[in-house]
Amino acid sequence: MQRTVAILIILIFIMSVIFWVSATISHAAHDDSECATCHSDDVDEVQTRLYVHAPFRDGKCGACHVSSARASDATPPAEDPQGFAPKPDPLAGSEKIASVDVHWLYEYFEPVQNLLIPLSAAEVESMLVVELWDQCRGEHQHVVPLPPLQQARPLPPGIRGEVQIHSLNIARDPNRPDTVVVECRTNVPVRGELRLQEKDGRARFLSTPQGFHSRMQMRITGLSSNTRYELEFNYASVDGKKQRSPIHVFIPAQLAPRTPADAVAGEHQCELEADIGVYQGKCDEGMCYFLSVAANQPITLSVGALKPGVDVPAHLQGTNPSTSGEKPQANSTGGGNPGFHSGLADGYFTNYESCRPCHSDFFGPMSHPVDIVPGVGMDVSPELPLLEDGRISCMTCHVFHGGNDFYRLRFSTKKALCHACHDEY
C-alpha cells in the first residue's frame, strides 16, 4: 500500500513538473512573451491560482489586450443589440491634462446630450477641464479658459423661457424586469425630480443629474413587475419657474422594452461634435458661471477645475471648439504607461468586446447585464471596478487572469457577489 502511494506521489510530481515546463515554454515562445519582462510578479503570482484564464496561462496576452490596430479592425457581432464598435486609438500617447492635476467637480455616468452646469466663482479659478466619452468609447478632453465672471457672455435667450415638455417616455429595461428607463425632452434646460408613487401611497423621489438638461435619461430600479405606479416630473427652469408634468400611470410588465430604435438618431455615431461654452447668469448663490455642453449624441462626461500651479501647454489652451472652431480629438483611454503600452486597446474593448469571441454563450438575458450604468440609488461596492464612464463590464464581477473560484469571481461566493450591489437580493 505504501509503495502504491509513493508511486502515485512521484507520478503527480512528474506531471506537475511537465505542466510547469510546458506552460513556461509556451509563455516564452509566443509573440507576447515580452510582457513578463515588466509583469513577472503578476505572472508568477497568478500561475499559482487554481483556475487560470486560458490565454494568460498560455502567455497569449494579446488575445485580450489587443493592439489598437486589431481593435479598430474588429466589427461588432451581428447579435450585439447595442451595435457598439471598438474605438480606434489614433492619438495613443498624445499629451493631455493628467487626471491628478484636476479637481473633479461633477461626473455624469448616465448619458446626457444638452447640459447646463452652474459653477460658483469659488469652485473655479482660471480653467475648466471637460472630458467627454462618445458612444464608441472615445475620450475627448477640452481645456476651457474662464474669463472674469463680469466679462463672460450672458446666457442666450433660447435657454430661458416657458418650459414645454416635448416628450416623456417610460420604457422597460429589456435586461432587467425590475427597472424602467424614463426619457424626457424639453424645449429649454430644466432640473427637478421624479416623484414615483405606489398604490399603497408610498412615494420615492429621484433627483435629475446635477445641472439643467433639455434631454435626460433616468433609471428607476427595484420595481415590482405587476404593481401600478404613478410618475410625476416636478421641474424648474433656469429662471426658477417651477412646473409639474401630467401624472403618468404604468405597470412595468406592460411597458414596451426600450430598444436602440428609441434612441435619438446618431446615438451610436463615433464622430463626436460638441459645442462647449461659458456664460454668466443668476443662480442660487448670486452671479455664477454656467458651463454649456451640447453634443450631437448622448455622452458621459466629467467636469473639473485645474488645480493651482499646474502648467498648461500652449497648444492645449483654448481647445474649446466653440471658440477655436476645432473639432474634439480622441485621446487614448487605455491603462498603463502610454510610453510602453501605446498599442493597447482601451478599457471598454479589453473588458467587454474581447470576451465575446470565446464566451458568447454568456451574453444574453440569462446572464447579468453588462455595458449598462448601475441603477439610481444602487450602492456598488468599491471592490467591484467599473469602466471609466461608470458602466458595468465583465471585469466588474470577474478576475480575468485567474482565481481560486471556478468562475474567477471577485468574491468567494455568488451570494456575497450579488450582495455587493443588491442588499435585499
Please check whether residues 56 and 108 belong to one and the same domain: no
Question: For residue 266, is it within any domain?
Answer: yes
Q: So what's the pLDDT on residue 377?
A: 66
Please check whether residues 105 and 183 belong to one and the same domain: yes
- Residue 66 grid cell: 489587443
Cβ within 8 Å of residue 127, ≥6 positions away: 143, 144, 145, 146, 305, 306, 312, 317
Which residue segment(s) compose the domain that 271 sits in? 95-331
- Structural domain ending residue among the three candidates 280, 308, 331: 331
Question: For residue 89, is it within any domain?
Answer: no
Please check whether residues 273 and 310 belong to one and the same domain: yes
Domain containing residue 121: CATH number = 2.60.40.10
The total number of structural domains in the chain stands at 2
pLDDT in tens, the chain (425 residues): 667 767 777 777 776 656 554 444 443 333 455 676 666 766 777 777 778 888 877 777 777 776 543 343 433 333 333 333 333 333 333 467 888 888 888 888 778 888 999 998 888 877 899 999 888 878 888 888 888 888 888 988 778 778 888 889 999 988 778 889 898 999 889 999 999 998 778 888 888 888 999 888 888 888 888 999 999 999 999 888 888 999 999 999 999 988 754 444 444 467 888 999 999 988 877 889 999 999 988 888 899 998 888 877 665 655 443 333 333 333 333 333 333 344 566 666 777 677 877 776 666 655 787 877 787 667 788 888 887 667 788 888 888 888 877 788 888 788 888 888 887 76
Residue 92: what residue type? A
- Structural domain ending residue among the three candidates 289, 315, 331: 331
Please check whether residues 190 and 271 belong to one and the same domain: yes
- Structural domain ending residue among the three candidates 331, 350, 383: 331
What is the DSSP secondary structure assignment for residue 394, as one 8-state letter?
Answer: G
What is the DSSP secondary structure assignment for residue 246, as one 8-state letter?
Answer: P
Please check whether residues 170 and 57 belong to one and the same domain: no
Please check whether residues 210 and 355 belong to one and the same domain: no
Please check whether residues 296 and 366 belong to one and the same domain: no
Please check whether residues 274 and 149 belong to one and the same domain: yes
- Residue 201 grid cell: 401611497
Q: So what's the pLDDT on residue 73?
A: 40
Question: For residue 198, is it within any domain?
Answer: yes
Q: So what's the pLDDT on residue 117?
A: 93
Please check whether residues 147 and 291 belong to one and the same domain: yes
Question: For residue 357, is it within any domain?
Answer: yes
Question: For residue 242, is it within any domain?
Answer: yes
Q: So what's the pLDDT on residue 364?
A: 61
- Residues 192 and 345: their CA atoms lie apart, in Å, by 39
Question: For residue 90, is it within any domain?
Answer: no
pTM over cut 0.85: no
Question: For residue 244, is it within any domain?
Answer: yes
- Residues 254 and 251: their CA atoms lie apart, in Å, by 5
Please check whether residues 127 and 6 belong to one and the same domain: no
Q: So what's the pLDDT on residue 404?
A: 78
Q: How far is CA 6 from CA 2, 11, 14, 17, 19, in A?
A: 6, 9, 12, 17, 20
Please check whether residues 188 and 201 belong to one and the same domain: yes
Please check whether residues 267 and 349 belong to one and the same domain: no
Q: How far is CA 378 from CA 17, 182, 381, 392, 421, in A?
A: 48, 17, 10, 12, 7
- Residues 117 and 292: their CA atoms lie apart, in Å, by 7
Tell me the DSSP string of 132-190. Answer: EE-TT--EEEEEEEPPPGGGSEEPPGGGSS---EEEEEEEE-TT-TT-EEEEEEEEEEE
Q: So what's the pLDDT on residue 104?
A: 87
